[in-house]
C-alpha cells in the first residue's frame, strides 16, 4: 500500500479531546499523521498530547512564524498531505475558510494545499444554527474539495441538547479511510444505491425464529462506501445492532424482519436504483407453522415442516432494467468460487461477491473479509483479507471499471 499521509487541523473546541483517539488509531495502523493546533485548540489539548499520539512533533503558530525551515512550513505541510482533516472545526475557522482568510498556520496550510479536506464542525447549537454559520457552511461545501462530517444532535458540553456535537471518532475514522481510498472523488454522485443487509428472521411465534449469524456489517460498510462516494443510499436491513446504524445519518433506512418483508421492500425501491447490492443473508426456509402468541413450552412441536423461501435477488433480476447493476453475495464454505459463478449465472446477476465464511477473519460478524469479485463477463478480482469498508470500495471500483 502506498504511504498515506493525514494532516490534522485542531481548532478550539472541547471535542478536540476526542480527536486524540482518531489520531492514535491512524498512527497505530501505520498511517503517517501530522497535527497543527491553533492557539485556542491548545487551551483544550496540549501539542505534546498529539505529538505523542502521532509520533511526530505537533505544529503550532510559534513553529510557523519562527520557522527556520528551508521552505515555508505551510507549503511543506500542504504539499505533504494526502488528506486534511479539520476536527473540531469552530464557527470562527469555518468563517475564515469560507472567505479564504489566512491568519495562522492552519488556515495558511489549507490555502497552500490541494488535497481533499474533511470538516467536522463542533459548537453550541445556537452558534451552529446562526444564519451566518449556516450560510458559511453551505457556501464552503459548494467547493468539491470539502467533505462534511456533519455534526449530530445530542447533549453538548454547554449542557444544551441540540445539533452541534462533533461526529463520533469512529465515524471520522470510517470517512478518513474512505477518503484515503477515493482521494476525494465522488464517482457515485447522482447515483442511487439500494443495499440489503443483515440476516432475515423467520418467526414461527413472536419470540422464536429461524435465523442466521449475519450481523449486517458488510451491508453497512457498502452503504458507507457508497455514501462517501456521493451516492444517495437506501439500506433495507434485517435487525442490526443500533450502534452499527447510528453513523448512517444520511442513509435512508428501511427496517424489515422476515424475507417476505425484505422482498417487498427491495421491490418497492428497485425502480429508481442504479446499483442494487444484495448483501443480506436471506433465509432459505421458514416454518409452515405460525402462532401470533408465544407457544407454551409444552405445546412446542417436536419437528417443524419447512417451506422454502423465494429467491429475492433472482426475482429482482427479472424486474431490473438493463442500465441497473445487480450484485449478489455468495457466502460459501470450501470451494467458494465455483458455486458463486454458478449462482451468478443461475440468478442472472451482473456481478457476485464470492465470500468464504469458513476462513479466519472473514464472513459473519468479522470486521474484515476476503472475497473474489466476479462479473458476468468472467472478469475476476481476488481480494485478500481487508476491512469490510475496503472490500466495499473495491467492489464499487470493480463495478465501474
Catalytic residue numbers, as ranges: 158
Nearest to 60 by CA among 75, 33, 42, 77: 42
Half-sphere exposure of 27 (CA within 13 A, CB side): 18
- The rounded distance, in Å, linking the Cα atoms of 81 and 58 is 14
User: Which range, of 58-66, 136-144, 276-284, 356-364, touches ligand C5P by CB under 6 A?
Assistant: 276-284
Task: Report, in Å, the least distance between residue 309 CB and ligand C5P.
Answer: 5
282 binds ligand C5P, rule: CB under 6 A = yes
Name the minimum Å distance from CB 210 to ligand C5P: 12
Q: Which is nearer to ligand C5P, 195 or 244 (CB)?
A: 195
344 scored as a contact of ligand C5P (CB under 6 A): no
Give the SS3 label for residue 240. Answer: coil
Among 108, 259, 362, 366, binds ligand C5P (CB under 6 A): 259
Q: Is residue 256 a contact point for ligand C5P (CB under 6 A)?
A: no
Q: Is 138 helix (H, G, I), strand (E, B) or coil?
A: helix
CB 88 within 8 A of CB 38: no
Nearer to ligand C5P, 18 or 343 (CB): 343
Residues in contact with 131: Cβ distance below 8 Å, sequence separation at least 6, in sequence order:
none
198, 176 Cβ separation under 8 angstroms: no
Query: Which three three-digit cell numbers place residue 137?
Result: 457552511
| Of residues 18 and 217, the one with the C-beta less far from ligand C5P | 217
- Which is it for strands 32-37 and 5-10: parallel, antiparallel or unpaired? parallel
Binding residue (CB under 6 A) for ligand C5P from 313, 371, 372, 373: 313
Verify binding: residue 311, ligand C5P, rule CB under 6 A.
yes
Binding window for ligand C5P (CB under 6 A); candidates: 26-34, 117-125, 136-144, 274-282 = 274-282
- For residues 351 and 398, is the Cβ–Cβ distance under 8 A? yes
Q: Report d(CA 143, CA 89) in Å as an integer.
A: 17
Please state whether 342 falls in left (phi above 0), alpha (psi between -120 and 50) or beta.
alpha
Per CB under 6 A, 336 contacts ligand C5P: no
Q: How far is the CB of 374 from ligand C5P (least distance, A)?
A: 13
Q: Which residue in the set 166, 276, 312, 326 belongs to the binding site for ligand C5P (CB under 6 A)? A: 312
Residues binding ligand C5P: number (CB under 6 A): 13
Give the C-alpha separation, 294 to 42, whole Å.
Answer: 59
Note whether 238 binds ligand C5P by CB under 6 A: no
Q: Which lies closer to ligand C5P via its Cβ, residue 89 or residue 233?
A: 233
Q: How far is the CB of 330 from ligand C5P (least distance, A)?
A: 5
Cis peptide bond prior to 373, omega within 30° of 0: no
Task: Count other C-beta atoms under 10 Å from residue 310's C-beta.
Answer: 10
Q: Should residue 278 be labelled a site residue for ligand C5P when binding is judged by CB under 6 A?
A: yes
328 binds ligand C5P (CB under 6 A): yes
The residues of the shown chain that bind ligand C5P, judged by CB under 6 A, are: 259, 278, 280, 282, 284, 309, 311-313, 328-330, 343
Amino acid at each position: 500500500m502506498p504511504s498515506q499521509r493525514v494532516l490534522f487541523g485542531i481548532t478550539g473546541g472541547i471535542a478536540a479531546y476526542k480527536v486524540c483517539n482518531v489520531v492514535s488509531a491512524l498512527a497505530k495502523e501505520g498511517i503517517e499523521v501530522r497535527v497543527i493546533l491553533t492557539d485556542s485548540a491548545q487551551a483544550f489539548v496540549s501539542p505534546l498530547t498529539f505529538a505523542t499520539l502521532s509520533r511526530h512533533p505537533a505544529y503550532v503558530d510559534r513553529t510557523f512564524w519562527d520557522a527556520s525551515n528551508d521552505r515555508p512550513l505551510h507549503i511543506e505541510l500542504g504539499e505533504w498531505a494526502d488528506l486534511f482533516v479539520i476536527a473540531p472545526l469552530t464557527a470562527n475557522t469555518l468563517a475564515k475558510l469560507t472567505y479564504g482568510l489566512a491568519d495562522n498556520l492552519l488556515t495558511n496550510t489549507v490555502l497552500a494545499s490541494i488535497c481533499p479536506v474533511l470538516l467536522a464542525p463542533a459548537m453550541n447549537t445556537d452558534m451552529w444554527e446562526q444564519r451566518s454559520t449556516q450560510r458559511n457552511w453551505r457556501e464552503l461545501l459548494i467547493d468539491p474539495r470539502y467533505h462534511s462530517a456533519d455534526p449530530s444532535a445530542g447533549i453538548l458540553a454547554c449542557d444544551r441538547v441540540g445539533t452541534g456535537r462533533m461526529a463520533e471518532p469512529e465515524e471520522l475514522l470510517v470517512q478518513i479511510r474512505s477518503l484515503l481510498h477515493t482521494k476525494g472523488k465522488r464517482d457515485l454522485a447522482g447515483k442511487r444505491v439500494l443495499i440489503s443487509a443483515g440476516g432475515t428472521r423467520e418467526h414461527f411465534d413472536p419470540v422464536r425464529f429461524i435465523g442466521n449469524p449475519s450481523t449486517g456489517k458488510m451491508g453497512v460498510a457498502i452503504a458507507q462506501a457508497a455514501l462517501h462516494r456521493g451516492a444517495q443510499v437506501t439500506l433495507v436491513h434485517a435487525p442490526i445492532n443500533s450502534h452499527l446504524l447510528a453513523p448512517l445519518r444520511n442513509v435512508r433506512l428501511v427496517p424489515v424482519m422476515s424475507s417476505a418483508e425484505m422482498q417487498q421492500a427491495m421491490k418497492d425501491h428497485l425502480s429508481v436504483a442504479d446499483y442494487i447490492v444484495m448483501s443480506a443473508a436471506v433465509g432459505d426456509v421458514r416454518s409452515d407453522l405460525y402462532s401470533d402468541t408465544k407457544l407454551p413450552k409444552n405445546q412446542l412441536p417436536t419437528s417443524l415442516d419447512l417451506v422454502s423461501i423465494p429467491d429475492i435477488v433472482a426475482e429482482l433480476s427479472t424486474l431490473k432494467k438493463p442500465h441497473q447493476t445487480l450484485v449478489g453475495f455468495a457466502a460459501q464454505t470450501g470451494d467458494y468460487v465455483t458455486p458463486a459463478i454458478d449462482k451468478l449465472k443461475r440468478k442472472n446477476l451482473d456481478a457476485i461477491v464470492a465470500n468464504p465464511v469458513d476462513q479466519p477473519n472473514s464472513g459473519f460478524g468479522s470486521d474484515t473479509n476476503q472475497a473474489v469479485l466476479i462479473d458476468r463477463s468472467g472478469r475476476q478480482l481476488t481480494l485478500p483479507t481487508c476491512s469490510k469498508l475496503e472490500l466495499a470500495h473495491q467492489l464499487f471500483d470493480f463495478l465501474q471499471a
